[in-house]
Structure 1
């Protein structure tokens, strides 16, 4: 049994990629209108009103009143749920007598949240434990061979997906951060100039990124031994942490920065001024990626030990939640890098040297292969040293297929429930 040095004192709010995994226990960034009448005013936009939620007496969601009725479909009548992701079952008698599925993206875009109001609403549109993804991925970034053109990637590593399904990639060997909009065949450079260096407009082998709600980019500029912060649209970054060997990064809502230091074998929390707030856990062996779940528990890929560890927020205990020994069996991992955790505590792992993505349900002793796992290769059902993964708001899986210089998207199949 490995011993871990642990120091975790302060509480922190939910942050990170988990904010976009909203389809499991959907947290809707729309205004909740409790105790309001049907269609009662609820937003600074007077074209919005309160729609009563079919499965929750007394609560509603603030939504756009002028959406064409033809854009709405009926709910499943027995349970008043919606099969379409990012939809909620509401009453809308101006259109239909029975409940309908309302697209929450419309509510978010047209109905601003008013001050002192709730903006979290749990819907019934969750995903069962038997959900699957298409075994064949589609290339959504790169895939045109190794290179530095805007339609190419060069050993991409870290990944971030925003709520518009825009993909942000640490294009490591091209020394740049690129963004790819939906259905685009080429990306745009948003940080770095493509040449390795340590000037303020340069990066050197960046490994991971985090983007906050203001569009500010936090980058592990690995070979320069620093953390860079780039404001949206800027041509130059600012160094906020130095003298570190960083790989993975995440930022919480208090703007504390969590970074894995792969040579020191630790996860450190930093203030924005570059001073150490605390060492969360040490005695790791080449820690790579980090994830912060909705309960502020921290997950780290302890790569050389072929494990994913969890630092529990409440108890401060360190436990192994996936892997434990190196190998290709379902109870093993081999050099795991990317990690993601959903609201049910299911752990998703980029099992790098096994060329597969693994799913470990809460307290499971073995995992399931959900993508790849058919040996190294470049076919649509294969991966070649996957390094990171994430999900969009619909539940589709995105994988950084590092050795194939591409990002693959695997479509969710909710009908498997």
Structure 2
């Protein structure tokens, strides 16, 4: 793998664990030096290259699925592989169900049988691509942008739960919709369709999405003017801000600027892809102050338009760098 920075590895943070008391923490932290893990940093169509990647999903066996948006495909990288394989799309953009949008796709989700769900953003739909299949099937939206409940408008974040319900963050409709298997219409489960704002009953350009199924809580990145991450229990009419200051973008430890991808670990710590600040922020459970664990401010390392983040089974951190055409790994120490 290729080194991304020459920063010295330092212990960054002590993460809260289930056995934590007020006097102690569990000792987990990351190397601040990243390595190129997927792609080679040069835009291209070869299977060891990526082009403007956006979304990322890591399975339980640590296979990486990557939205290779600029190549109109999804590629899979087995652990430590030097190149990927095409698992969805043809490498040619289009509107047919054998192709993905010419102007780009966003986030992806992969269920237990390794069927792939894709936010086919500019085609205004979510498609399911069966493992080993050569075509997609529409599971949300109807391929035309709009605010009716049979439509999507700029689908972005995506989560598929254990019952194969599909949750979609709609950037332009300011809402999260849930689509049960086989449904032709969705149900709004967070936000108010067509209304954007910074109050706790509204969303603003929602992108990143994480579903804590056990507690029925959605975690949502507000990428618009609000610049927050919200926790929203499915069925409630309001959410709660858990990271960022509503309506205040910035680079302080309590602020975010264009947050996109988000994840949680088993201790409910929140990891945020703070895109416009070119950094990854970690907010320990219950804390409104973030700590930079990768990117600007972390040992001098830098990220190039980070878009999405995931953790593997060993808590190594992976970051999609959109304009560097790669996925970068920050090893857990």
Question: Quick one: which of 116, 131, 146 aligns to 2:43?
Answer: 146
Task: Answer yes or no: is 1:272 the counterpart of 2:181.
Answer: yes
How big is the alpha-carbon RMSD for the aligned residues of Structure 1 and Structure 2? 2.3
Is structure 2 residue 208 aligned with structure 1 residue 289? yes
Change (3 A) 1:307 1:368: same
Residue from 336, 348, 364 that aligns with 2:287: 364
Within-5 A mapping of 1:80-229? 128=25, 130-204=27-101, 205-229=104-128
- SS of the aligned residue for 2:323 comes to helix
Aligned positions, number:
289
SS at match of 1:183: coil
| TM-score, scaled to structure 2 | 0.82
For residue 250 of structure 1, give the secondary structure of its aligned residue in structure 2. Answer: strand
User: SS state of the match for residue 170, structure 1?
Assistant: strand
What corresponds to 2:315 in structure 1? 395
Structure 2 residue 251 is the aligned partner of structure 1 residue 328 = yes
Which whole-Å CA distance do the structure 2 matches of 1:381 and 1:199 have between them? Answer: 41
**How far has the Cα of 1:24 moved from its partner?**
8.6
Paired residue for 1:299?
Answer: 219
- For 2:190 and 2:332, the matched residues in 1 are separated by 34
Query: Structure 1 unaligned runs (5+)?
Result: 1-22, 27-121
Query: Aligned-pair distance for 1:199?
Result: 1.0
Q: Partner of 1:276: helix, strand, or coil?
A: coil
Alpha-carbon separation, structure 2, partners of 1:380 and 1:188: 33
TM-score, scaled relative to structure 1: 0.66
In structure 2, distance between residues paired with 1:129 and 1:372: 23
- 2:131 corresponds, among 232, 256, 261, to 232
The answer as to whether partners of 1:24 and 1:343 remain within 8 angstroms in 2 is no
Which runs of structure 1 show a deviation greater than 6 angstroms over 4 or more consecutive aligned residues?
A: 23-26
Structure with the largest fraction of helix: 1
- Could you tell me which runs of 5 or more consecutive residues in structure 2 were left unpaired when the two chains were aligned: 1-14, 143-150, 192-201
Q: CA deviation at 1:317?
A: 4.4
Tell me which residue corresponds to 1:102.
none
Note if contact 1:142-1:406 (Cα within 8 Å) is conserved in structure 2. Answer: yes
Q: Partners in 2 of 1:395 and 1:287 — Cα distance?
A: 26
Query: Contact 1:268–1:276 at 8 Å: present in 2 too?
Result: no
What does the per-residue CA deviation read over 1:85-115, in whole Å, with 9 as the maximum and x for residues that have no partner? xxxxxxxxxxxxxxxxxxxxxxxxxxxxxxx
Pick the structure with greater CA Rg: 1
Q: Would you say the 8 A contact 1:142–1:151 is kept in 2?
A: yes
Describe the SS at the equivalent of 1:173. Answer: helix
Q: Distance in 2 between matches of 1:159 and 1:139?
A: 15
Q: Distance in 1 between matches of 2:135 and 2:284?
A: 42
1:353 paired with 2:271, answer: no
Q: Deviations over 1:69-91 (max 9, x none)?
A: xxxxxxxxxxxxxxxxxxxxxxx
In the alignment, the residues of structure 2 paired with residue 314 and residue 227 of structure 1 have an alpha-carbon distance, to the nearest angstrom, of: 22
Instruction: Show CA shifts across 1:327-386 (max 9, x none).
Output: 0111110000000112222110000010000000122121000011149xxx99321111
